[in-house]
Amino acid sequence: MSRSPERRRQNPAGRRSQGRGFLFFILFGLVVLMGCAFLTVSVGQRIWDALFQSEPVTENAAIFTWPADSAQLTVAVAPVMAPTLAQRVEAFNRQESRTADGQTMQVALTTIAPEKMVATSLGQPPFQAVVPDSSLWLNQIDQRWAADHPTESGGLASRRVGDPTRFAISPIVLAAWEETARSLGWPDNPVGWAEIQRKATSDSTFKWNHPNTQHAAGLLATLAEFYAGAGLTRGLTAEIANQQSVLDYVRDVEATVRFYGEGEDVIVQRLEEEGRSFLDAFVAQEQTVIRWNDSHSSGDRLIALYPKEGTLWTDHPLALLELSAPGETAVTDNQRRTFQAFGEFLLSNESQQAFLAAGYRPADVGIDLTTAGSPFAGSDAVDPSQPKTTLQIPSAAVVEVVQNVWYYTKRPTNVYLVVDTSGSMAGEKMDLTRTALQSFVSQIQGDRDKVGLVEFGSGVKRFEPLQSLNEGGRAQMVEMIAGMEADGYTALLDAVWQAQEDIQTVADANAINAIVVMTDGQENDSYRSMDDLRRAFENSRTPVVVFTIAFGSDADDALLQELARIGGGQFRRADETDIEELYRILSTYF
């Protein structure tokens, strides 16, 4: 909302003297603003495209149908493999192979994150086959399907996915800049989780990352940490994973993670934008290291470090869904023929060589990785003889336990949601914001993470300090969100200042401290200036990351970009209709 030039501000000290309750109302608006901003920030462009620009995917009861003689196979693929697989799909479709009844075999791709792929596969999906980045997700589909569809006789439930075709593999590694890799002991000594922990503990400037466990790289790395903590390479059970010594080991490693987030494709995008200053090392597929070095031949190299305790592999399985539940549109005979033909095509020598050229290890073990032209040939950045130890994939039940336990062993987070509830947010924008914030709060698991709210309009309208989201705290937060109303001007900088000031008071260096900002307008009512904030962040005792999201076309992009810069975070624009989905992503980002 625009501000009248003759309007006089109140004394800021006097405003604070009105008490915590008044500040609560003022800062609550700031929280909404910052929260939306952070959501946009946390979404890398490829993930953004996958979620919001690919074919629509639903987990609800919408019925998708196709002709009874259809030979078009729609395949859901994880984001990291999507660009490479798209090239293979194009080559397959050019063949124009036909079924016995004359239908042309065609394959279409839809890009979707693995966790959502699992959930969507349990309903009537708009696809007939899946290519997650790991068979772990196929196991989860079958486990959840069996739990939802028990047999009356108590026998084995029918499977949701058929036997997979694995066409390309890549081990999970620690990708590090060459200088960083040498400081960790490479190439003379093997490097593992212990070396990463020691480096991060002794060097406060060292920054490393692994994705959250909704992505294969993060989940497989976390499983490897549990194996290392147990001193095992196979036979990990739920009981072992819950042993205190194992939990302590994983917690010590996770305590050194700078932040969590989406898959390595998002990390690579930020490396492109921010360079070496972003991270020193991160968990990724080996293929990511090859791809980076191939496209940055004149710049800094990444080195693949294979954890000495052992690692797991992404195996990119192609699997057909057995769509046969009552009311479902079943896979046609022709789609099955297309699936078989496409699987055979992916295993052909032409395709296997294409996957090798893209940095994957082909499923055909007869292909020599060291021959001339191979990305492995003549390079010390990757080692085709590694990893020396491959860890055993545990059962889906153990994976679920490890995922749940991870929320209690990962580094805790203090996050202030700074939300714009000025007059320009009235109507549908406010409704969407309430829904998104409630979704965010509901998806944070456990009570180790703390969330605060700063709502702003004409000044800080409401302030709620950081609190654990236990049962009572979660209910209180949801109630406050439901009561938000849009009115007033836009004191964005004052709201960010309040969140930053309170985090410094908490001074929890062992947590990830962040501010998430969302606004749809222009700063026009703050006492604090951008210079004030810049000095505050420069002199802060506790590092705070700031993420900003521009909600709508009238937001001050330049100001939000500068806020993200001084806070070492990111700025993104958000489509108003995507806010709730963005908050779902944000709730797992840390």
- The predicted-structure confidence for 53-90, as pLDDT tens digits, reads as follows 333 333 344 568 899 999 999 999 999 999 999 999 99
Burial code of 567-579, b = ≥16 C-beta within 10 A, e = fewer? Answer: bbbbbbbbeeebb
pLDDT top residue among 41 and 196: 196
pLDDT digits (tens, 9 = 90+) for 553-563: 888 989 999 99
Q: Are residues 522 and 442 in the same domain?
A: yes
Q: Which residue has the tokens 């960083």?
A: 180
Contact 153, 131 (CB under 8 A): no
Residues 397 and 478 in one domain: no
This prediction has a pTM of 0.78
Which helix (H) or strand (E) segment is 516 a member of? strand 512-519
Mean pLDDT over residues 104-116, rounded?
93
Rounded to whole angstroms, the Cα distance separating 238 from 252 reads 20
- Least Cα distance to 226 among 43, 1, 405 occurs for 405
Q: Is residue 51 part of a domain?
A: no
275 has a pLDDT exceeding 50: yes
- Report which DSSP code applies to 53: T
Residues 18, 31: Cα–Cα separation, whole Å: 20
| Shared-domain flag, residues 558 and 462 | yes
* Structure tokens given for 218: 């993060």
Res 57: pLDDT: 37
User: By the 8 A CB rule, do 289 and 382 touch?
Assistant: yes
Q: 10 vs 185, which has greater pLDDT?
A: 185
Residue, of 15 and 134, whose pLDDT is higher:
134
Structure tokens at 297: 């031949």
Residues 274 and 325 in one domain: no
pLDDT band at 17 (very low <50, low <70, confident <90, very high): very low
Residues 385, 390, 396, CA angle at the centre, nearest 5°?
150
The edge-to-edge listing of strands for the beta sheet with 72-77 is 106-111, 72-77, 129-131, 317-320, 165-166
Mean pLDDT of 507-521: 85
Percent of the chain residues topping a pLDDT of 90: 55
Question: What DSSP string runs through 354-408?
Answer: HHHHTTPEES-TTS-TTSTT-TTTT-SSS-TT--S-BPPP--HHHHHHHHHHHHH
* Cα–Cα distance for residue pair 340/165, rounded to 1 Å: 9
Residue 61 lies inside a defined structural domain of this protein: no
In the chain, pLDDT over 70 holds for what percent of residues?
A: 85
DSSP codes of every residue in 309-322: T-B-EE--EEEEB-
Query: If pLDDT is split at 50, 70 and 90, which confidence band does 521 have?
Result: confident
Say whether 350 sits in a helix, a strand or coil: helix
Give a yes or no: residue 202 inside a domain. yes
Is residue 581 located within the same domain as residue 525?
A: yes
Please state, in angstroms and rounded to a whole number, the distance separating the CA atoms of residues 459 and 27.
8
The average pLDDT across 123-149 equals: 93
Identify whether 566 is part of a domain: yes
Could you tell me if residue 278 is inside a domain?
yes
Residue 93 located in a structural domain: yes
Per DSSP bridges, beta strands 106-111 and 72-77 are parallel
Same domain, residue pair 309 and 319: no
d(CA 414, CA 590): 10
CA 418, 419, 425: angle at the middle one, nearest 5?
A: 160
Last residue in a domain, options 408, 441, 474: 408
Range of the domain at 26: 12-45+411-589
Quick one: pLDDT at residue 433?
Answer: 83
Torsion of Cα atoms, 543 then 544 then 545 then 551, to 10°: -170
What domain count does the chain have?
Answer: 3
| CATH number for 481 | 3.40.50.410
282's enclosing H/E stretch is: strand 281-285
Q: Which of these three, 408, 434, 469, is where a domain ends?
A: 408
Q: Is the pLDDT of residue 15 over 60?
A: no
56 found inside a domain: no
Domain boundary among 408, 439, 464: 408
User: Residue 152 pLDDT > 90, yes or no?
Assistant: no
Note whether 279 and 142 are same-domain residues: no
Instruction: Please tell me the predicted confidence (pLDDT) of residue 582.
Output: 64
Q: Are residues 439 and 579 in the same domain?
A: yes
pLDDT-derived band at 401 (thresholds 50, 70, 90) equals: confident
Say how far apart CA 211 and CA 214 lie, in whole Å: 8
Q: Is there a single domain that holds both residue 398 and residue 427?
A: no
Closest listed residue to residue 145, CA positions, set 131, 130, 161:
161
Q: Summarize the chain as % helix, strand, coil (round to 5).
A: 45, 15, 40
Cis geometry, peptide bond prior to residue 387 (ω within 30 degrees of 0): yes
- Mean pLDDT over 530-546 rounds to 91
Q: What is the model's pLDDT at position 153? A: 57
403 versus 349: the higher-pLDDT residue is 349
Domain assignment present for residue 376? The answer is no
For residues 578 and 438, membership in a common domain is answered with: yes
Contacts of 264 (CB under 8 A, 6+ apart): 80, 175, 211, 217, 282, 283, 284, 285, 288
Residue partners of 96: CB distance under 8 A and separation at least 6: 104, 105
Decide if pLDDT at 445 tops 70.
yes
For residues 413 and 211, what is the distance between their CA atoms, to the nearest angstrom?
15
Question: Could you write out the three-class secondary structure of 117-182?
Answer: HHHHHCCCCCCCEEECCCHHHHHHHHHHHHHHCCCCCCCCCCCCECCCEECEEEEEEEEEEHHHHH
- Highest average pLDDT, of 372-381, 426-435, 443-452, comes from 372-381
* pLDDT at residue 581 in the model: 64
Q: Are residues 187 and 147 in the same domain?
A: no
Residue-averaged pLDDT of the chain? 84
Asked if 289 and 303 touch (Cβ cutoff 8 Å), the reply is yes
Is the pLDDT confidence value at 424 over 50?
A: yes
Residues 433 and 403 in one domain: no
Q: What does the block give as tokens for 160?
A: 């949701």
Contacts of 246 (CB under 8 A, 6+ apart): 226, 229, 230, 240
Indicate the angle between helix axes 45-52 and 579-589, nearest 10 degrees: 130
Report for 7-16, 31-40, 196-205, 266-275: range of highest mean pLDDT: 196-205
Return all residues near 205 (Cβ < 8 A) that are at least 6 apart. none
What six digits make up the tokens of 519? Answer: 């606004």
Q: Give the confidence band of 511 by pLDDT, cuts at 50, 70, 90.
A: confident
| CATH code of the domain in which 110 resides | 3.40.190.10
